[in-house]
């Protein structure tokens, strides 16, 4: 699994669309592209960081063979995340620096403590990843155990046998690697 520091960075990448929303909110209010440019730069910086985490995981983590028993799309949290992403755009919320920091910290804590950072629009949009809830059965000392994970893959999956090898990114998240 990746380190806690990389996990924190992955959480930051999952909430980074808030940075873009804050910049856009400031831009639309003033018409000046430079207003809130810090937030736009922060959002853009997350893209190569996301790519680096993926490449690090592919190269350095132990490859595990898997036999998936069931698979389903994992997009249940999309609505909640979209609400959090567009919150800075609502005219009711004052998007001063400290209000934005407060929103980001709350979202960061919520995502980190609930392990919901698998919904990551940066990884989906810019790196092409899809997310699936999968069930894996493993046998230990003659007993069969069932485990549920979130799987990141660049494939659009229709069958359980399409994924053969993964790396474990966190306690609840696997990423497919090429065979």
CB 64 within 8 A of CB 166: yes
Angle between helices 97-114 and 17-30 (to 10 degrees): 160
- Candidates 118, 114, 133; CA nearest to 50 is 118
For the entire predicted model, the pTM comes to 0.75
- Candidates 128, 159, 131; CA nearest to 73 is 131
- How high is the pLDDT of residue 116? 61
- For residue 171, CA distances in Å to 1, 74, 116 come to 8, 16, 12
Going from N- to C-terminal start, the domains of the chain cover: 4-176
Average pLDDT of the segment spanning 75-94 = 61
pLDDT tens by residue, 139-162? 788 888 899 998 999 998 888 889
Provide the token pair at 6.
């990389």
Distance of CA 119 to the CA centre of its chain: 4
């Amino acid at each position: 699994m990746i380190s806690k520091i990389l996990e924190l960075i992955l959480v930051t990448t999952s909430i980074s669309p808030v940075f873009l929303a804050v910049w856009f909110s400031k831009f639309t209010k003033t018409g000046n592209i430079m207003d809130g440019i810090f937030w736009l730069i922060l959002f853009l910086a997350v893209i190569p960081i996301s790519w680096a985490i993926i490449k690090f995981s592919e190269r350095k983590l132990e490859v595990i063979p898997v036999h998936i028993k069931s698979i389903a799309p994992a997009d249940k949290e999309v609505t909640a995340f979209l609400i959090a992403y567009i919150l800075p755009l609502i005219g009711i919320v004052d998007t001063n620096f400290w209000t934005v920091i407060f929103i980001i910290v709350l979202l960061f804590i919520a995502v980190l403590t609930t392990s919901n950072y698998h919904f990551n629009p940066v990884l989906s949009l810019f790196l092409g990843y899809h997310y699936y809830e999968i069930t894996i059965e493993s046998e230990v000392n003659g007993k069969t155990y069932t485990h549920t994970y979130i799987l990141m893959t660049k494939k659009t999956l229709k069958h359980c046998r399409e994924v053969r090898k993964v790396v474990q990114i966190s306690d609840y998240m696997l990423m497919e690697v090429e065979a």
